[in-house]
Amino acid sequence: MTQATPVLQGLPPLLDANTRLVVLGSFPGVASLRAQQYYGHPQNQFWKIMGTLLSPHAADVLATPYAERAQWLLSQGVGLWDVYAACEREGSLDANIQNAQPNDLQSLRIRCPALVAIAHNGGESFKHAKLTRALGLPVHRLPSTSPANASWTLARKLEAWREVFDAAGLLR
Question: For 30-46, what is each residue's pLDDT tens digit?
Answer: 999 999 999 999 999 99
> Phi and psi at residue 80, in whole multiples of 5°?
-130, 145
Active site residues: 44
d(CA 153, CA 145): 10
C-alpha pair distances (Å), 141 with each of 33, 59, 60, 117? 24, 26, 28, 11
Which residues, in sequence order, are bridge partners of residue 52?
Answer: none
- Picking from 15, 16, 39, 14, the residue whose alpha carbon sits closest to that of residue 26 is 39
Domain 13-167 has CATH 3.40.470.10: yes
For 50-107, what is each residue's pLDDT tens digit?
999 999 887 788 889 999 999 999 999 999 999 999 999 998 888 889 999 999 999 9
